[in-house]
Amino acid sequence: MAIEPLAIAARTVTNALGRGVAASLAALRCGESGLRPCDFEDAVLDTWIGRVAGLEEEPLGGEFAAFDCRNNRLARLGLEQDGFAMAVRDATARYSADRIGVFVGTSTSGIGATEHAYRQRDPLTGSLPETFDYQHTHNVFSVADFARRWLGLTGVALAISTACSSSAKAFASAWRHMRAGFCDAAVVGGVDSLCLTTLYGFNALGLASSRPCRPWDVERDGLNVGEAAGFALLEWAEPDDARALLLGYGESSDAYHMTAAHPEGAGAALAMQGALARADVTPEQVDYINLHGTATPLNDAAEDRAVLRVFGPETPCSSTKGWTGHTLGAAGITEAILVCLCLEHSLIPGTLNTRQRDPKLGAGLVLDNRERPLRLALSNSFGFGGTNCSLLFGRRGA
Amino acid sequence: MNPLFVEGVGILAPGLAGWAASRAVLAGERPYVAEPMPATIATLLPANERRRTTATVKLALHVAQEAMDQVAPISNPSSGERGKLSAATVFASSGGDSEVLDKICTALTQPGRPVSPTQFHHSVHNTPAGYWSIATGCTQPSLSLSAYDGSFAAGLLEAAALAFAEAARVLLIAYDLPLPFPLSARRAIVAPFAVALLLNPVATERRQATLRLTRTGFEPADRLDDASLERLRAGNPAARSLPLLCAIAQRKRKRVMLSGNDTALGVDVEP
């Protein structure tokens, strides 16, 4: 039997394509990428990134000054798009501030603040500058703490940090908390911002491409790190709800390797099957899969095996990383919102930058945009440590 | 709220060397002495993995293994042994592996910014979860979270929600270690502390305690009478579990209040 679905009552996304859902939808439609050659801080790296413009000039002030760092600036920017904070205020009047939970995914939170502080250590004592505030910037919880305070919410609040599945898992955690009665509605989200840790880290692993990333391409050679903030307000669906719905989620652990995906995609397949089972739908009913599709040679190959195993070669699928880059802990929410936009606007996005599909890969990759009504769409998010999460979204009567 | 049954407890901290050895101290029958923490065992990990992993991973896996071993031997693929039990996991930690983050941030100040690939893949908050699933062969869902000083209470809520949703056992692991200098000057964690609770939404003869959770408003958290234990409770987010562990050890019916962030989590404990 299917789980009780959640309605997406409000949603917003900000990424390299721009601020708010309209910017992302317009870029998806016209095939315009948000990627650019790396121009983040003083990084000297031959790679492309998905940077959100303008964050450098928009510090947090007033009572939120302690939270000021790139990640929380991005969170604030995200919360203020698409009337999202307003929608949460309206929901607060219905549910009360302590009955709306906050579930925010992030991988690196505000570590950028620590990177800066380490460059300003006292030459004699080694101490960090007085202005450095660990709790409100670097700590993993900082972004969830900021979001709940910005929105005036006092209920359960946690940061979920499972690398690149973080903000997909936020949906699963929110569903469970609501089901258990720990809250009646939920703000789920994800925020990850560019920092030297991830840029130099992926470079050290040899996973950062020197060109715009090309998922599933025969010449794919790595990912582009991006940054994003996305949020959704979730409440239990009404019987004839016309809004986009979270119908199922599936999670698994690879139990294989810290950074390498299971070569057969066993864990990824389990996560997809879990989402289908919770929604009580068959693979044939799914109209579109938004792949994790980072464009690293091994990850795409493993995900391809998993998709083939669960869906076969027919189900249309694509990766939107060529538009946004890989936004890490924010990838789950980013692609969840893109999938909801696709459901609402009858769009299957192509796979930007990819020209020649790897003949060794067999999933039903879509290269160019298609206009087609969609009823059910799956979004995949997988991360370091072998953490997998798939989300199934749908619309009734579409 | 529905009850949750505690089937296994793992604990490791200075003066608290395992659940069996700590029960009398936590029950107030023996004084707490903050002796140096014994070495972690983490025998689940193959030797080469054990060498590469950090103190944080070893500490988390040590208590996880202790809690699971109280119910059934766990799977250990490296020894070819398959256990009868696996459980979804929730890992709760305020700051994760700050030793790794310190090394990365230090490397980023050096010419060429030589971030080590190994450090980078150990930098994610879910590193202990990854090693646990690799060591046990467990493919069940796992969540890694932080709620700063409220991380244990947030982890307990997530574990409960997960156990109810799946109608299955969940292993909760909470851990935090002192940060290295210079971060230590900005985030005081006084001693390492890790706890694991194996929770079952179904009553079995293995239950050691029954828990019922209630979120409450802005109520103060319980403190501990013993000054040294209270210093530990207040000085490590994972040790905020101590009032609950004391109640379980005392085998008495009791309501404890655990600190969240601003709010508290009430837990009704029954033997």
Share of chain A above pLDDT 90, in %: 97
Share of chain A above pLDDT 70, in %: 99
What is the pLDDT, as a whole number, of residue B52? 81
**Which pairs from A23-26 meet CB under 8 Å and 24+ separation?**
A24/A323, A24/A324, A24/A337, A24/A338, A24/A341, A25/A341, A25/A345
| A382: β partners | A388
Complete domains list, chain A, with CATH: 6-394 (3.40.47.10)
Instruction: Specify the 3-state DSSP secondary structure of A60.
Output: coil
Report chain A residues whose CB lies below 8 A from the CB of B109. 118-119, 121
Of A119, A161, A267, the CB nearest to B125: A161
Of B126, B148, B162, the CB nearest to A385: B126
pLDDT in tens, A252-282: 999 998 878 888 999 999 999 999 999 999 9
Centre a 10 Å sphere on the Cβ of residue A370 and count the other Cβ atoms it contains. Answer: 15
Q: Is the ipTM of this complex over 0.90?
A: yes
In a mutagenesis test of the A interface, which of B97, B109, B115, B211 is the best target, namely the one with the most A β-carbons within 10 Å?
B115
Q: B15 CA to chain A: closest CA distance, Å?
A: 28
Of A158, A197, A253, the CB nearest to B133: A253
In chain A, which residue's Cα lies nearest the Cα of B121? A259
In a mutagenesis test of the B interface, which of A115, A131, A176 is the best target, namely the one with the most B β-carbons within 10 Å?
A176
Mark residue B111 as left, alpha or beta (left: phi above 0; alpha: psi -120 to 50; beta: remaining): beta
Instruction: Specify the 3-state DSSP secondary structure of A241.
Output: coil
| Residues A234 and A384 sit within 8 Å (Cβ to Cβ) | no
The CATH number given to B4-207 is 3.40.47.10
Q: B213 CA to chain A: closest CA distance, Å?
A: 9
Nearest in space to B54 (alpha carbons), one of B104, B88, B16:
B104
Rounded Cα–Cα distance for residues A320 and A332 (Å): 12
Q: Tens-digit pLDDT profile for chain B (271 aa)?
A: 799 999 999 999 999 999 999 999 999 999 999 999 988 877 788 777 777 889 999 999 999 999 999 987 665 555 555 555 789 999 999 999 999 999 999 999 999 999 999 999 999 999 999 999 998 899 999 999 999 999 999 999 999 999 999 999 999 999 999 999 999 999 999 999 999 999 999 999 999 999 999 987 778 899 999 999 999 999 999 999 999 999 999 999 999 999 887 778 999 999 9
What is the pLDDT, as a whole number, of residue A205? 96
What is the pLDDT, as a whole number, of residue A66? 98
Centre a 10 Å sphere on the Cβ of residue A56 and count the other Cβ atoms it contains. Answer: 12
**Secondary structure of chain B in HEC code, one letter for each residue:** CCCEEEEEEEEEECCEECHHHHHHHHCCCCCCCCCCCCCCCCCCCCHHHHHHCCHHHHHHHHHHHHHHHCCCCECEHHHCECCCECCEEEEECCCCCHHHHHHHHHHCCCCCCCCCHHHHHCCCCCHHHHHHHHHHCCCCCEEEEECHHHHHHHHHHHHHHHHHHHCCCEEEEEEECCCCCCHHHCCCCCCCEEEEEEEECCCCCCCCEEEEEEEECCCCCCCCCCHHHHHHHHHCHHHHHHHHHHHHHHCCCEEEEEECCCCEEEEEEEC
| Interface touch B146/A139, C-beta < 8 Å | yes
Instruction: Specify the 3-state DSSP secondary structure of A59.
Output: coil
Nearest in space to B192 (alpha carbons), one of B34, B37, B22, B21:
B37
Nearest in space to A326 (alpha carbons), one of A26, A107, A45, A58:
A107
Phi, psi of A164 (to 5 degrees): -85, 0
Task: Spell out the domain ranges in chain B.
Answer: 4-207
Question: If residue A219 lies in a helix (H) or strand (E), which one and from where to where?
Answer: none
When pLDDT is cut at 50, 70 and 90, the band that residue A358 belongs to is very high
Of A121, A141, A383, the CB nearest to B182: A121
Q: What is the pTM of this model?
A: 0.98
pLDDT in tens, B38-84: 888 777 887 777 778 899 999 999 999 999 999 876 655 555 555 55
- At residue A296, what is the residue type? T
| Interface touch A180/B101, C-beta < 8 Å | no
Size of interface A-B (CB pairs under 8 A): 207
| Residues A11 and A246 sit within 8 Å (Cβ to Cβ) | no
Q: Is the pLDDT of residue A396 over 90?
A: no
End-to-end, the C-alpha distance of chain A in Å comes to 22
Report chain A residues whose CB lies below 8 A from the CB of B145. 158-161, 173
Of A133, A255, A387, the CB nearest to B137: A255
Centre a 10 Å sphere on the Cβ of residue A93 and count the other Cβ atoms it contains. Answer: 8
Instruction: Specify the 3-state DSSP secondary structure of A285.
Output: helix
In a mutagenesis test of the A interface, which of B120, B173, B179 is the best target, namely the one with the most A β-carbons within 10 Å?
B120
| Interface touch B147/A119, C-beta < 8 Å | no
pLDDT in tens, A216-238: 999 999 999 999 999 999 999 99
Report chain A residues whose CB lies below 8 A from the CB of B181. 126
Q: B21 CA to chain A: closest CA distance, Å?
A: 32
In a mutagenesis test of the B interface, which of A154, A156, A272 is the best target, namely the one with the most B β-carbons within 10 Å?
A156
**Cα-based angle A356, A164, A371 (whole degrees, multiple of 5):** 45
Rounded Cα–Cα distance for residues B160 and A363 (Å): 38
Following CA atoms A107, A109, A113, A119 in sequence, which dihedral angle do they give, to the nearest 10 degrees? -10
From residue B237, alpha-carbon distances to A147, A189, B43, B240, B242 in Å are 21, 24, 26, 5, 10
Q: B88 CA to chain A: closest CA distance, Å?
A: 9
Q: Active-site residues of A: which are they?
A: 164, 292, 326
Question: If residue A39 lies in a helix (H) or strand (E), which one and from where to where?
Answer: none
Q: B152 CA to chain A: closest CA distance, Å?
A: 11
| Interface touch A127/B182, C-beta < 8 Å | yes
Report chain A residues whose CB lies below 8 A from the CB of B130. 253, 258, 384-387
